[in-house]
Amino acid sequence: MILENEYEVIIAGAGPAGASSSIFLSQAGIKHLLIDKAEFPRDKVCGDALSGKVLSHLKHAIPDVAAKFAQNQKDYLPSYGVRFVAPNGKQADIPFLPNITKDSPPPGFISKRIDFDNFLYNNTSSDFAIRISNAELTGIKKENDIIQLQIKNGETIYHTKTKILIGADGERGISHKYVSGGSKRDLEAFSAGIRAYYTGIAGYHEMNYIELHFLPEILPGYFWIFPMANGVSNVGLGILSSEVSKHHLNLKKIFNDILNLPQFKGRFANAKPESQIQGWGLPLGNKYVKRSTDNVILTGDAANLIDPFTGEGIGNAILSGRYAAYAAIKALENKIYTEAFFKEHYDTLIKQKVGHELKVGSTLLKLCRYKFLFNFVVNKASRNKEFRDTISCMFANIDLRSKFGNPMFYLRMLFG
């Protein structure tokens, strides 16, 4: 591994957040170093659902991304909606857009992260990006107006400096700890997730709807079954870490118990596991966290940007990667790398772009605890097309989604 003594920008982590930062820096002609402790293609424990939000943010980096995915159905299964199953077992099938058909451009896809992240990583290749894998960021130290980094490659330790570090090293990286001053993650803003791949699961919606089962035993959280290409399924569950800790939950046992529930037994009768059950954490966006400090900007999971209700984080990882690149470009132009500068040109912007949406997700997470409300909404949706269309519009429109937090919404529903 050959490192220069100093870089203008170093990105630690080449997942969706880091890869998108790299693409936007390259677009602006900014030379930078992109390191990752893994070697690509690499896997990441995830539900693998790529929503319309992922596509809409990614198209700024890769304009023809939706068409590319639609042409590659070997790796990207198009999905047209979501099946919500309430705690009482009632279900409602909600298309992602009202009146969508199989001939419409797919609003979302499901793709193994090993393929999707590798696609993104390949798109970071440019004259401006120096990419090094098996390079783990192990130390961050401020030295006057610059940052000193320690990077581990095999058994060898290297040192280099940078004006700006973009921390895109996810839930288990070290940049979040550096910016937060070492404080522990808040368990009310953290979810535990596990997932396994299966083949042979029956009973999907014909338009590849993803399924969210809000089972009473794991509220506020859900069990998911997502169809994938080649007859594979992604099956998993997520639950708030504070609940896991409070009730000493064993997620693998809960997962296996769920597969034996009467509503799943038949569907899993011919199912075969294709992987181990694997776990990973989800840093949720329902509490305030600092997202930058002198010389350092956090993105994606390192910046707690996962929707607290849906568990979706890839879209915001890409969005934050883009705005981190813009903030870095502005800082280099102005030769200012202070916390105050990044607060104004990054944290504030991220709050403007996704603050409202994360707040709505946080309200929905709280409402999830009220089983009767959930049962009521899903029951109504299962019987009323107009209401299903309203929910479809809520996927794209956050202001509409925020109505779920307003008591008037339920009163209107009750009275027609």
Ligand X SMILES: Cc1cc2nc3c(=O)[nH]c(=O)nc-3n(C[C@H](O)[C@H](O)[C@H](O)COP(=O)(O)OP(=O)(O)OC[C@H]3O[C@@H](n4cnc5c(N)ncnc54)[C@H](O)[C@@H]3O)c2cc1C
| N-terminal to C-terminal alpha carbon distance within the chain | 67
Site string for ligand X, 171-190 (x = CB under 6 A): -xxx----------------
Q: Smallest distance from the beta carbon of 1 to ligand X, in angstroms? A: 13
- Alpha helix positions (H), 8-140: 16-27, 52-58, 65-71, 113-122
Measured in whole angstroms, how far is the alpha carbon of residue 352 from the centre of its chain?
18
Toward ligand X, which CB reaches closer, 47 or 78?
47
Question: Looking at 107, 221, 285, 311, which residue binds ligand X (CB under 6 A)?
Answer: 311
16 binds ligand X (CB under 6 A): yes
CA distance 232 to 256: 18
Q: Smallest distance from the beta carbon of 390 to ligand X, in angstroms? A: 23
Both tokens of 174, joined, read 């070290």
The piece of 157-165, 166-174, 178-186, 407-415 that touches ligand X (CB under 6 A) is 166-174
Residues 128-147 that bind ligand X (CB under 6 A): 136-137
47 binds ligand X (CB under 6 A): yes
Both tokens of 182, joined, read 């070492």
The piece of 32-40, 246-254, 258-266, 345-353 that touches ligand X (CB under 6 A) is 32-40
H or E segment to which residue 246 belongs: helix 241-247
Residues 262-281 that bind ligand X (CB under 6 A): 280
Site string for ligand X, 357-396 (x = CB under 6 A): ----------------------------------------
197 binds ligand X (CB under 6 A): no
Toward ligand X, which CB reaches closer, 227 or 300?
300
CA distance 57 to 49: 15
Measured in whole angstroms, how far is the alpha carbon of residue 358 from the centre of its chain?
12
CA distance 62 to 64: 6
Residues contacting ligand X: total by CB under 6 A: 41
Distances (CA, A) of 387 to 57, 88, 379: 28, 19, 11
Q: Smallest distance from the beta carbon of 17 to ligand X, in angstroms? A: 3
38 binds ligand X (CB under 6 A): yes
CA distance 90 to 97: 21
312 binds ligand X (CB under 6 A): yes
Toward ligand X, which CB reaches closer, 78 or 90?
78
The piece of 44-52, 123-131, 156-164, 360-368 that touches ligand X (CB under 6 A) is 44-52
Toward ligand X, which CB reaches closer, 47 or 95?
47
Question: Looking at 106, 170, 220, 308, which residue binds ligand X (CB under 6 A)?
Answer: 170
Q: Encode 263-288: b = buried (16+ Cβ within 10 Å), e = exposed.
A: ebeebbeebeeeeebbebbbbbbbee
Residue 310's nearest CA partner among 113, 107, 51, 95 is 51
The piece of 40-48, 68-76, 255-263, 326-334 that touches ligand X (CB under 6 A) is 40-48
Both tokens of 293, joined, read 């400090």
Question: Looking at 258, 306, 331, 360, which residue binds ligand X (CB under 6 A)?
Answer: 306
Contacts of 85 (CB under 8 A, 6+ apart): 91, 211, 212, 213, 214, 215, 378
Distances (CA, A) of 152 to 381, 402, 414: 53, 45, 60
Residues 228-267 that bind ligand X (CB under 6 A): 236, 238
CA distance 175 to 178: 5
15 binds ligand X (CB under 6 A): yes
CA distance 59 to 322: 11
Residues that bind ligand X (CB under 6 A): 12-18, 35-38, 42, 44-49, 136-137, 168-170, 172-174, 193, 195, 236, 238, 280, 282, 300-301, 306, 311-315, 317
